[in-house]
Amino acid sequence: MIWLLGSVLCSSGILLLFRSFTDAQVHTRHAIMINYLTAASTGYLIYRPTELWFAEPWFLPSALMGVFFYMIFRVMAKTAQENGVAVSVVFSKMSVVIPVMVGLTILNESLNWLKVVGILVGIAAVVLTAQGDTRKGLWIWPLILFLGSGGIEASLKLFQVKLLGEGQTPLFISTVFSFAFLTAASHHITTTERKVSGRSALGGLILGMINFGSIYFLLKALDLPGWESSFVFPINNFAIVLCSAVLAMLLFRETPKLRVWTGLGLASFSIWLLYLST
């Protein structure tokens, strides 16, 4: 359980950092680029590879995933701009149904009524808890965000089961983040705002270490005996919603509406049902 808790806390920290970037005068795109470089470096320092890993069967898929990481981040930003922050949160978290379906069908994971009800209650909690502008916009972006976020989560589990050897998790994550950085850097040199401030570099450094932890802890939780992805991903996503909302209340003095309190209660109930399902 400690690995899953670590993933939830790190992921919630990412959301809170993004929330604080505006007040701290941090350029978000610059911080994202530095974040990927930091996350990749963190993994290489932990693993300290002594030989080339380009021949590993997971190298090319991890490289493609790194490119996809940055693309989905840009889609998330576009969704927030076109459809509102609330829609962006809802679609990115509801995408948990994709890795759940992959786990149940491809990996033959268990299914019972507690798991089904827990997932449905958790999705309702996400919808109720999300706050922000919900103005109408182009719904192609939320759809791409839904499919992309779900595809990334499902791929993480499939790579772990089918391709990764023992002890290769940090190196795999570092490769993903390396190519995410290369993609972000390629985009960066095509823009006019190229100068990275010290604030943005520091924000990216902190974000990168937390970002690496969120993926590393999640993969460690998925690797635990008896912990199926159709159990880990829903609890992880719904707990992030619950934890980030509570921390936002404590740190940013937010005053939630009644529907948000209802959503937090449903998120807690969902996590309890999913825990019982195992």
The pLDDT tens digits of the residues spanning 28-78 come to 889 999 999 999 999 888 877 666 777 788 899 999 999 999 998 888 877
Question: Which one-letter amino acid corresponds to residue 151?
Answer: G
Give the pLDDT confidence score for residue 84 in this predicted structure.
Answer: 65
Give the pLDDT confidence score for residue 33 in this predicted structure.
Answer: 94
Give the pLDDT confidence score for residue 136 in this predicted structure.
Answer: 54
pTM for this model (two decimals): 0.85
Give the pLDDT confidence score for residue 180 in this predicted structure.
Answer: 95
Helices 258-276, 113-129: axis angle to 10 degrees equals: 160
pLDDT under 50: residue ranges of the chain: none
Number of domain units in the chain: 1
Give the pLDDT confidence score for residue 51 in this predicted structure.
Answer: 66
Judge whether 239 and 42 are in contact, CB under 8 Å: no
Give the pLDDT confidence score for residue 151 in this predicted structure.
Answer: 92
Domain that holds residue 55: 2-276
Give the pLDDT confidence score for residue 203 in this predicted structure.
Answer: 92
Give the pLDDT confidence score for residue 141 in this predicted structure.
Answer: 83
Give the pLDDT confidence score for residue 34 in this predicted structure.
Answer: 95
> Which contacts (CB < 8 Å, 24+ apart) does range 160-166 have?
160/219, 160/222, 160/223, 161/107, 163/56, 163/57, 163/58, 163/61, 164/58
Question: Which one-letter amino acid corresponds to residue 10?
Answer: C
Contacts of 35 (CB under 8 A, 6+ apart): 204, 205, 207, 208, 211
**Assign residue 167 a region: left if phi > 0, alpha if psi is -120 to 50, beta otherwise?**
left
> CA–CA separation, 29 vs 34, rounded Å?
9
Give the pLDDT confidence score for residue 65 in this predicted structure.
Answer: 93
Place of tokens 């299914």: 111
Helical (H) or strand (E) element with 275: helix 258-276
Give the pLDDT confidence score for residue 160 in this predicted structure.
Answer: 84
Write out the two tokens for 24: 């701290």
Write out the two tokens for 246: 């509570």
Question: Which one-letter amino acid corresponds to residue 68?
Answer: F
